[in-house]
DNA sequence: ATGGTAGTTAAACTA
């Protein structure tokens, strides 16, 4: 089984890329973020025609998440809000169970600038996420949480740690929240394996960041201990980032026995 | 320290 994540930065613009990538990568479960579309405008037919069953939690203009599945089991126990953030209008979470696998897809807030209002919203969101995962891990031995975390967990996940010091995506408080997820037993599947240095999942559109590989690894597939033992590989697929009019993120895909 | 680009949406917001 393959589980993947991709921030597509507008499903409307990126649908052709998504369909092409599904054909070659053929994930069984894919979490997508920043769909930027409401559920009534979700391109359901095109995705079903590609062999995938979608569920979505969309929003106009900003945010929006979805899960695509080519498994035979129907999604169950769908969740669209963090229990501690029920009044949050931003669509950033979608969870569902496929057979015995709990799939949680997140688009964690960016945070704008350290100490800004958006940054504190990000930390609030992360604390609510940690509390939610504590419960979810109790209920689901086989759990994967995937998505755009907007956190580079360590300096080796940053092209130039010095220039990023004090910024969102790398600040100590954000990294501490990521470590709290790890403390719950979640495993960064990418780091289960030997990886080349300077592998990133996001590159700014500006200043030719991609050709210079000025990137960060902020898109992750974290798995419960039981799934970690079944994990065979995890890699970032940079090819869609090289296509014409790309998302600023590359997909990440992990394989399980 | 600012601006560089992209998406959505119509001048500004988010990333």
Tell which residue, A233, A211, A214, has the closest CA to residue A223.
Answer: A233
**pLDDT interval class at A17 (50, 70, 90):** very high
User: Of A44, A167, A182, which Cα lies nearest the Cα of A110?
Assistant: A167
pLDDT band for A240, please (50, 70, 90 cuts). very high
Strand B contacts (Cβ < 7 A) comprise A 9-10, 12-13, 36, 60-63, 109-110, 112, 118, 150, 204-207, 245
Q: What is the pLDDT of residue A196?
A: 98
pLDDT tens figures, A178-237? 999 999 999 999 999 999 999 999 999 999 999 999 999 999 999 999 999 999 999 999
Residue with CA nearest B7 C1'?
Answer: A10
Strand B bases with any atom < 7 A from protein Cβ: 3-9, 14-15
Residue range A77-92, pLDDT digits in tens: 999 999 999 999 999 9
Please state, for a pLDDT cut of 70, what percent of chain A lies above it: 100
* Residues of A catalogued as catalytic: 107, 148
User: For the segment A121-148, what is each residue's pLDDT rounded down to a tens digit?
Assistant: 999 999 999 999 999 999 999 999 999 9
Beta carbons of A4 and A27 less than 8 angstroms apart: yes
Are the C-beta atoms of A215 and A200 separated by less than 8 Å? yes
User: How high is the pLDDT of residue A194?
Assistant: 98
From the C1' of B9, which residue's alpha carbon is nearest? Answer: A61
Question: Are A130 and A104 contacting, i.e. CB atoms less than 8 angstroms apart?
Answer: no
Q: What is the average per-residue pLDDT within A10-23?
A: 98
Helices A117-139 & A172-183 angle (0-180, nearest 10):
10
Q: What number is the average pLDDT over the span A42-56? A: 98
Instruction: Please compute the mean of the pLDDT values over residues A31-48 and round it to a whole number.
Output: 98
Q: What is the mean pLDDT of chain A?
A: 98
């Amino acid at each position: 089984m393959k589980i993947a994540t991709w921030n597509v930065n507008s499903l409307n613009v990126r649908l052709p890329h998504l369909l092409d990538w599904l054909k070659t990568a053929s994930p069984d479960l894919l979490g997508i973020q920043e769909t930027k579309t409401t559920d009534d405008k979700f391109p359901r037919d095109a995705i079903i025609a590609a062999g995938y069953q979608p569920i979505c939690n969309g929003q106009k203009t900003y945010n929006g998440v979805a899960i695509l599945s080519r498994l035979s089991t129907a999604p169950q126990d769908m969740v669209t809000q963090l229990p501690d953030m029920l009044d949050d209008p931003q669509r950033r979470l979608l969870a569902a169970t496929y057979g015995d696998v709990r799939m949680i897809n997140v688009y964690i807030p960016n945070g704008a600038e350290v100490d800004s209002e958006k940054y504190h919203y990000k930390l609030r969101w992360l604390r609510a996420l940690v509390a939610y995962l504590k419960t979810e891990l109790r209920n689901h031995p086989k759990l994967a949480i995937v998505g755009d975390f907007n956190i580079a967990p360590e300096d080796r996940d940053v092209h130039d740690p010095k220039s990023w010091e004090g910024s969102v995506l790398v600040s100590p408080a954000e990294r501490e929240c990521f470590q709290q997820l790890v403390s719950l037993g979640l495993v960064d599947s990418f780091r289960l394996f030997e990886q080349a240095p300077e592998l990133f999942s996001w590159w700014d559109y500006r200043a030719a960041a991609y050709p210079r590989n000025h990137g960060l690894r902020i898109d992750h597939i974290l798995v419960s201990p039981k799934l970690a033992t079944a994990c065979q590989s995890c890699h970032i697929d940079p090819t869609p980032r090289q296509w014409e009019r790309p998302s600023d993120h590359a997909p990440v895909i992990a394989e399980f026995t």
